[in-house]
Each structure stands twice: as structure tokens, then as C-alpha cells.
A and B are shown apart, each in its own frame.
Chain A
């Protein structure tokens, strides 16, 4: 059974810092991995999608890496801003036609001015 763990559970940093959020999963047979952002009281916004054959994806100040063999992904946020404050969720989709997403518990990020 796939399990997804995110560390840290919460993070509070001053504006401008570079951040690393960690995600680990127990079954390396994944189809892809996705990072989402959730703002309080809102739905989920997809940030980055990494296919199982890829090592990283970048979008603006965000960079996500994937090491499938070790069951790990990291989300790197450069030069953090108060607007980055949200909960960041990691989710994996299983391989072999198994198409549901398994989510981690998330990292609650607070970036203060």
C-alpha cells in the first residue's frame, strides 16, 4: 500500500529565504508525482507535475525534483514571498493503469515580511 509522507509538517520563515519541502513515498512504482498548493478555504492548485521518467521540473521560482528509486521528491522555493504562504501537498499516482492520487499530509508554510 502506497504511503506518502511530507516533512516538515509546518514551516515559518522570513521573506527572501530559499526553502526545501520534502516528500517521500513507500512504493517506487509510480506513474507520476504532483505538487499542489492549497490556500485556506480553497481547492487545490497544481504547481508541478513530474513524470516517473523525469528528474525535475521547473516553473518560475519553483523547482521539483524526483528520485524514484529512493522514493523521494523535493520542492524548492526560491526567494520566498508572503504570497507563498499556503499548504503544499505532494501526491503520487500509481503505475500500471492505477490512476488514483495518494496524498501526503502537507507542509503548512508561512512566509512573514
Chain B
């Protein structure tokens, strides 16, 4: 099974600033997913990040707000730009098992925007 780490684990930020979240996987994976979990809500997919190509964003999410980097097969970053209190959420990185069976999740980054 994949082991996923995220940094930071939590942060408190001021509105208007940006935060970059890092996701590191202990094995090479083609696809990485970024999810958002707003308070009391379930998980919503933000985008799919493939190495060597631009991320694919879901409806309601745009690259200017959530730029993603995928420099290699074990690492990705998600930036939350120009933050507002509505961006307060848990952000989770996820990778599928080979063959897209089970999906593994990182511990999440808890973001509070004041």
C-alpha cells in the first residue's frame, strides 16, 4: 500500500495570502488527486494531477485559484491562492493503487483562513 505524507498538517492564514500544500508518496504513481473537505461536508475532487501534463480541474475549480504542480512521479503541490474564509477546509492528497482498485489518502492539511 502507498504511504502518503502531507505538509503542513495544519495552518492558520490571513485572507488574501496563498498557501502551498505538499504531497509526497513513497512510490511512483501516474495519477494523484487533490480533494477538499469543507467543514461538515464530504470530499470533493478539485483536480487530477498527472506527471508531465497540466492538471485536469473539476467543475467549479480553476487553475488560477488552485494551481497544481507535478514535477515527478512521487510529489505534487497544491496552492490555495488569494485565500478567503470560504477556503477553510481539509485538503487531501490521494493516489490510486496500481490498477485503480483501492485508493489511498494522505492525512490531510487543515486550513483555517481568518
Binding site for B on A (CB under 8 A): 31-32, 34, 36, 41-46, 49, 51, 89, 91, 93, 99-101, 103-106
Contacts and interface: CB of A to CB of B under 8 A. Distances in A.
Interface of B: 4, 31, 33, 41-45, 48, 58, 92, 94, 96, 100-108, 110
B42 A105 contact: yes
B108 A42 contact: yes
Looking at chain B's contact residues, is the secondary structure mostly helix, strand, loop, or mixed?
A: strand
What 8 pairs between A and B have smallest CB-CB spacing?
Answer: A44-B105, A43-B107, A105-B42, A103-B42, A43-B105, A103-B43, A43-B108, A46-B102
Nearest to A32: B101
Nearest to B33: A100
Contacts of A34: 102-103
